[in-house]
């Protein structure tokens, strides 16, 4: 490191905060320039300019650091898990093969999703893999429901609208029913992806990263 770079980066730690000497000297020059200006000293003008240059360099550096912090993470940096351990979990403890296959529905999943999306789909399987799912993707299996109508007829079908108070169900023939979720209606909701929600209750960070690393390699 050059002497110039060392002087440029020199800093102090004050109350746990890093403050560069450029900022300290720049503020000191600014204060001196203000005092010199009040006393009509000739040196006040160049000292003030020098102080502004130092403080401007602090501003530029802080702006550059902020821009770097906003950059999205390198996808490869998310693959910190053990691929072999992820494969073992997929085929064993995770019971993923009960619904999935890397030669079937998950074929090429490593090229379909970026690592951050892939990990998100493991945790939040609906939508694009972000909290709380960002809606429903066309490929997502829909919720299904069964309910008892006021006339006593039992219906079942695909859920179109679901809330804590009501559900809209479309039967196989296209008929739609909106049912209040009361005790009498005996509404039963089934989520084909419920296994993911149940697995999340016991999935560890290590297992999640291992599984992501394994699936990211499925091309």
Under 8 Å CB-to-CB from 13, ≥6 apart: which residues?
A: 19
Domain definitions of the chain by residue range: 3-70, 78-134+197-216, 144-190
Q: How distant, in Å, are the alpha carbons of 85, 151, 178 from that of 136?
A: 30, 33, 20
Beta-bridged to residue 70, according to DSSP, are none
Query: What local confidence, expressed as pLDDT, does residue 132 receive?
Result: 44
Query: What local confidence, expressed as pLDDT, does residue 14 receive?
Result: 78
- What is the distance between the alpha carbons of residues 79 and 75, in angstroms, rounded to a whole number? 7
pLDDT in tens, 5-23: 776 677 778 777 778 888 8
Q: CA angle, 34 as apex, 32 and 37 as ends, to 5°? A: 105
- What is the distance between the alpha carbons of residues 81 and 207, in angstroms, rounded to a whole number? 8
Strand 176-180 to strand 17-20: parallel, antiparallel, or no bridges (unpaired)? unpaired
pLDDT in tens, 167-178: 999 999 999 999
- Pick out the chain residues at pLDDT < 70: 1, 3-4, 7-8, 69-77, 127-139
Say if residue 212 is exposed, middle or buried (CB neighbours under 10 Å; 0-12, 13-18, 19+). buried
Query: What local confidence, expressed as pLDDT, does residue 204 receive?
Result: 93
State which CATH number among 1.10.760, 1.10.3210, 2.20.25, 1.10.3470 fits the domain covering 78-134+197-216: 1.10.760
Domains 78-134+197-216 and 144-190 share a fold: no
CATH number 2.30.30 is the correct assignment for the domain at 144-190: yes
- What is the distance between the alpha carbons of residues 205 and 193, in angstroms, rounded to a whole number? 20
Query: What local confidence, expressed as pLDDT, does residue 85 receive?
Result: 96
H/E element holding 158? strand 154-162
- What is the distance between the alpha carbons of residues 182 and 174, in angstroms, rounded to a whole number? 24
Alpha-carbon torsion (204, 209, 210, 214), positive or negative: positive
Query: What local confidence, expressed as pLDDT, does residue 72 receive?
Result: 66
């Amino acid at each position: 490191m050059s002497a110039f770079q060392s002087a440029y980066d020199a800093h102090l730690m004050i109350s746990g905060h890093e403050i560069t000497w450029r900022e300290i000297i720049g503020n000191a020059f600014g204060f001196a320039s203000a005092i010199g200006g009040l006393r009509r000293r000739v040196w006040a003008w160049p000292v003030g300019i020098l102080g502004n240059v130092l403080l401007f360099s602090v501003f530029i550096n802080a702006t550059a650091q902020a821009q770097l912090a906003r950059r999205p993470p390198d996808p490869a940096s998310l693959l910190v898990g053990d691929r072999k351990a992820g494969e073992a979990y997929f085929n064993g403890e995770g019971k993923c093969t009960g619904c999935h296959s890397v030669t079937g529905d998950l074929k090429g999943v490593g090229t379909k999703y970026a690592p951050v999306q892939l990990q998100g789909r493991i945790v939040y399987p609906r939508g694009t893999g972000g909290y709380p799912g960002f809606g429903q993707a066309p490929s997502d299996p829909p919720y299904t429901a069964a309910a008892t109508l006021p006339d006593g007829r039992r219906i079942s079908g695909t859920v179109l609208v679901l809330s804590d108070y009501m559900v809209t169900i479309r039967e196989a023939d296209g008929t739609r029913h909106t049912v209040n979720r009361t005790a009498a209606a005996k509404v039963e909701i089934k989520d084909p992806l419920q296994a993911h929600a149940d697995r999340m209750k016991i999935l560890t960070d290590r297992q999640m990263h291992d599984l992501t690393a394994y699936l990211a390699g499925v091309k």
